[in-house]
Amino acid sequence: MTDLLTPPTPIAAASLDVARRWLSPDLVNHSVRSWAWASLLARDEGRAFDEELLFVAAMLHDAGVASHFDAHEVAFEEAGGAVAAVFGAGAGWSPARSERVREIIERHMWRSVDPALDVEGYLLELATTLDVRGDGASRWQEADLRSITARVPRLDFGRAFDASIAAQAARKPETAAVRLHASGGVAAGTAFWDAFAATGS
């Protein structure tokens, strides 16, 4: 698991540094777990993907709920995508690659992503759905779920993220945050992960 949690490139490592500087510890750990879930799913499904691109997307996908990047009217996934695109440009990525990371982040809030369209978006959408809502856990091996959550703890992620999504939904009624808030998915995910942890104690 040490290799899995190690950024795959220097640019990927820089995105983790950015996340640690500007995001809360809860969000940083969520981002790292999302990368781990996505990577493990790709391994188990035999899917090739761009490791650096997906790592950066995972680190910055929720930047739009952080106070320094929260846009008043723009959906948080669009704001996070913009942050990641700017990061990519600063890292020397081509305009096309910077655009790709933006697409991946915006698509993580879709109901589903076709892997034939966007394999990194597919992996991130399922990984974040697992981490936030607890959905689709059967896609992963239980030992992997326990190993990652032990090494990258949830801290107060459920409560803090639920409050963030409620605020996003209230201020931005045309965005996907409304759907997530109305579904009670974050609270359900917290209950799922609490129960999962309790069964392993």
The residue segments making up the domain with residue 148 are 2-199
Per-residue pLDDT tens for 59-89? 999 999 999 999 988 999 999 999 999 999 9
Contact 121, 107 (CB under 8 A): yes
**Cα dihedral value 123, 124, 130, 131, nearest 10:** 150
Taking the C-alpha atoms of residue 5 and residue 36, their distance in angstroms, rounded to an integer, is 7
pLDDT at 201: 57
Contact indicator for 15, 7 with CB cutoff of 8 Å: yes
State how many domains the chain has.
1
| Three-state secondary-structure class, residue 25 | helix
Give the distance, in angstroms, between the CA of residue 163 and the centroid of all CA atoms in the same chain.
Answer: 17
DSSP three-state, residue 102: helix
pTM of the model: 0.96
**pLDDT tens sequence across 102-115:** 999 999 999 999 99
Specify the CATH number for the domain of residue 67.
1.10.3210
Per-residue pLDDT of 134-174, as tens digits, reads 999 999 999 999 999 999 999 999 999 999 999 999 999 99
